[in-house]
Chain A
Amino acid sequence: MLSVQEVTRVVAGKSLVDRVSATFERGELSLIIGPNGAGKSTLIKLLSKQLRADAGAIGYDSVDVGSIPNRELARIRAVLSQNIEVSFPLRVWEVVMMGRYPHFAGRPGAADVRACEEVMRFFDVSEMGERDYSTLSGGEKQRVHFARVLAQIWFAASGKSRYLFLDEPLTFLDIYYQFEFMGKVRELLKAGDLVVVGVVHDLNLAARFADKILLLHEGRVLACGSKTEVLTQENIKTAFRLEPTLVRTDEKSVHLVFD
């Protein structure tokens, strides 16, 4: 479980993230939405400990994130961002193996090799293991990075939750890969000990896949809850200054149509 209490981040006198509180459960896919400048990216960086909060508390299974050493944290927390370039030619499996760096010193052990093999099969990149990463297409590169990031937290950590943060990883993928990736994340969530929190831009993608949606507006939580609770005409109007038509095909789903 990931708990966020009154978290605030101030830069140059402006609160980018302003007293945000939320709880993200194991086995759930939580997606953060909001207009540009709402603080989505800052919040995800605070949650993943890339930035430190100026006030408030972030707890990983109720342990304060500040008290967890970085290397230890890296064994249970992975962050998937977009469009990573590697500055020198590397083989694909070398890139994936980097995900195991927090787990071994010296040479990779049998578990590290197994994690890489399994995760590469999972993301369907096994075939390109020996290829030079820099020669891959954009979609292939992103899949290799999915594999690398998941390799980092591939095995359950005894007694602890695992945390996966998605920092707009889908921005440069076509719709097929967006759906395929979200499907894979749902599959991973079945393990039960994984907390997934992500930022996406596409409201319909959030509506399609999220268990919980957190709508940020001007650094504050405008709404937080299930898709039907958050994706209301009023909330969308306040945050995005647009009035969508909400289409309900059944009890659980919401589609937004912008005319």
Chain B
Amino acid sequence: MPAKPLASPYAGMTPVLALALVAIAVFSIRFGAVAISFGDMWSALTRGFAAPESLNLTERIFLEIRLPRALACILVGSSLAVGGVLMQALFRNPIVEPGLVGTSSGAAFGASLYFVLGAALKFHAGEWTLPIAACLGGALATACVFLLAETGTAQTETTTGLLLIGIAINALFLSGVGFMSYIARDPQARSITFWSLGTLSGASWRAVILLACSTLIGLTVALRHARQLNALMMGEDEALYLGIDVRRLKLTIIAVNVMIVAVATSITGIISFVGLIVPHLLRLLKGSDNRFLLIGSVFLGAILLTGADIAARVLLRPAELPIGIVTSAVGAPVFITLLRRRRYRF
């Protein structure tokens, strides 16, 4: 044992990641069809909120488009990565991603319902209709998974049972999405497709505020349960012996996951792989303490998604690729390389 066992091996990582995030976020904001100088940013930030009418075009692009988009990107990346950490910890399983308990497919189903039947609905909430439909879908699917697991047998109550029911419910809701695409007319079908691929182009300040709330609340609750999740790594019995209410822990963590992932998905559509890969990268860097993984994933998830957003805007310039295509196309080979490393145990 080292002289100071708690001179944590995890120390020093957070500042590095935070600096990297600031650097890549600034690059992302400055990059685009219109070049934005630091002077523009400064003057827009100092005057923009008080007197928006006094801004010139460049400053307005910064304040109304680039900045909210960059912030939304950061928050969505963080949310998905934190969701990944939570779900992998809960299921004690490294193959798990945040959509596993039905949240993403449910959200996709809610969104596709809105695209196809939206016009016929009595309910309208302006630009919030889509996010609300997606959130409700995500919550509904997750509730189905959890209720079916809880009211089944002793077997379905286990995490493995929950996982299997999650797979089935995912398939069910995705078939619902498929059906909606099938009966959709052309522009609606295209909307569903685009949304399923993920995009940040709709990011507004209101979306940023909503995302910031859900991410902050979710992260705070998650951090309070980090040690309990650590104990869960040894199995439910051992966690019980340590005085942990495992059932309540499961419910809390799933509720947090639904909130952050459903809100993120409702605004950007489905962005895969970030939630799966970030926890693995962090574990490879330092270790598996969930406290570290949660904080690290906030930064690393944001960094990776911002990088993907830059790539999505560069690759087919001046057109923009859906960001979900980039995360999957880059994430899959990176992930496979990671798994094939001898040093990495999973």
In the complex the two chains form, is A89's CB within 8 Å of B241's CB?
Answer: no
Q: Mark A185-207, 1 if CB is under 8 A from B, else 0.
A: 00000000000000000000000
In the complex the two chains form, what is the Cα distance from A36 to B311 in whole Å? 62
Contact with B along A76-94 (1 / 0, CB 8 A): 0111010011111111011
Within B292-345, which residues are at the interface with A (CB < 8 Å)? 345
CA–CA, A72 and B243, complex, Å: 7
**Complex contacts, A95 vs chain B, CB 8 Å:** 234
B240 at the interface (CB under 8 A from A): yes
Residues of A contacting B242 in the complex (Cβ-Cβ under 8 angstroms): 74, 98-99, 101-102, 152
Chain B residues in 8 Å Cβ range of A108: 6
Alpha-carbon separation in the docked complex, A89 to B39 (Å)? 47
Verify B234–A86 contact, CB threshold 8 A. yes
Q: Does the CB pair A101–B231 fall under 8 Å? A: yes
Q: Which residues of B contact A69 (CB under 8 A)?
A: 243
Residues of chain A contacted by B288 (CB below 8 angstroms)? 88-90, 94
Q: Which residues of B contact A78 (CB under 8 A)?
A: 241
Q: Whole-angstrom distance from the CB of A234 to the nearest CB of chain B?
A: 36
Q: How far is the CA of A149 from the CA of B345 in the complex (A)?
A: 25
Interface stretch of the complex, out of A14-22, A124-132, A175-183, A225-233: A124-132
Specify which chain B residues have a CB less than 8 angstroms from the CB of A132 in the assembled complex.
Answer: 345
Nearest B residue (CB) for A112: B6
Per the bound structure, the CA–CA distance linking A127 and B231 in Å amounts to 23
Q: Which of A78, A79, A81, A101 has the most CB of B within 10 A?
A: A101
Identify A70's interface contact among B94, B230, B238, B244, CB under 8 A: B244
- Known contacts A101-B227, A108-B6, A113-B5; is-contact A50 B93 (Cβ 8 Å): no
Contact of A94 with B289 at beta-carbon distance under 8 Å, contacts A116-B5, A134-B345 already known: yes
**A6 on the interface (CB 8 Å rule)?**
no
Complex Cα distance A126/B283, Å?
Answer: 23
B233 and A90 within 8 A (CB): yes
Give the CA-CA distance A79 to B239 in the complex, in Å. Answer: 11
B2 lies within 8 A of A90 (CB)? no
Whether a CB of chain A sits under 8 angstroms from the CB of B52 is no
Q: A240 to chain B: closest CB distance in Å?
A: 28
Give the residues from 104 to 148 in chain A that come closer than 8 angstroms, CB to CB, to chain B. 107-108, 113, 116-117, 120, 126-127, 129-130, 132, 134-135
Tell me the interface secondary structure of chain B in the complex.
Answer: loop
Contact of B235 with A91 in the complex, beta carbons under 8 Å: no
Whether, in the assembled complex, A223 has its beta carbon less than 8 Å from a beta carbon of chain B, the answer is no
Query: Which chain B residues border A75 with CB–CB below 8 Å?
Result: 243
As a 0/1 sequence over residues 42 to 74 of chain A, the CB contacts with chain B under 8 angstroms (1 = contact) are: 000000101000000000000000000111111
Which of A81, A84, A130 is in CB contact (< 8 Å) with B2? A130
User: Which A residues touch B235, using CB under 8 A?
Assistant: 84-85
Kindly state the interface size class of chain B when it binds its partner: 20 to 34
Nearest-CB residue, chain A, relative to B280:
A88
CA distance A89 to B289 in the complex (A): 9
CA of A117 to CA of B1, assembled, Å: 8
Report B76-88 CB contacts with A as 1/0, cut-off 8 Å. 0000000000001
Q: Of the candidates B234, B237, B240, B245, which one forms a contact with A98 in the assembled complex, judged by CB atoms under 8 Å apart?
A: B234
Is A74 a contact partner of B241 (Cβ separation < 8 A)? yes
Assembly CA distance A99 to B242 (angstroms): 7
Tell me whether B187 is interfacial, beta carbon within 8 Å. Answer: no
Of the residues A50, A89, A120, A135, contact of B287 by C-beta under 8 Å: A89
Answer whether A113 and B240 are a contact pair too, CB < 8 Å, given A89-B288, A90-B287, A90-B288.
Answer: no
Give Cα distance in the complex from A126 to B3, angstroms.
Answer: 11
Q: Is the CB of A50 within 8 A of B237?
A: yes
User: Is the Cβ of B5 less than 8 Å from the Cβ of A71?
Assistant: no
Contact of B240 among A50, A94, A116, A126 (CB under 8 A): A50
The complex places the Cα of A108 from the Cα of B243 at a distance, in Å, of 17
Shortest 3 CB-CB distances between A and B: which pairs? A74-B243, A129-B1, A88-B288
Mark A residues whose CB is within 8 Å of B.
Answer: 48, 50, 69-75, 77-79, 81, 84-91, 93-95, 97-99, 101-102, 107-108, 113, 116-117, 120, 126-127, 129-130, 132, 134-135, 149, 152
CB<8 Å pairs between A and B, sample of 29: A50-B240, A71-B244, A74-B241, A78-B241, A79-B241, A81-B237, A84-B238, A85-B234, A85-B235, A86-B234, A87-B92, A88-B346, A89-B287, A90-B287, A90-B289, A94-B230, A94-B287, A97-B5, A98-B231, A98-B234, A101-B230, A101-B242, A102-B242, A108-B6, A113-B5, A130-B1, A132-B345, A149-B241, A152-B242
- Besides A74-B242, A81-B238, 14 other A-B contacts (C-beta < 8 A): A48-B241, A50-B237, A70-B243, A77-B241, A81-B237, A87-B92, A87-B93, A90-B288, A90-B289, A94-B230, A127-B1, A130-B1, A130-B2, A135-B345
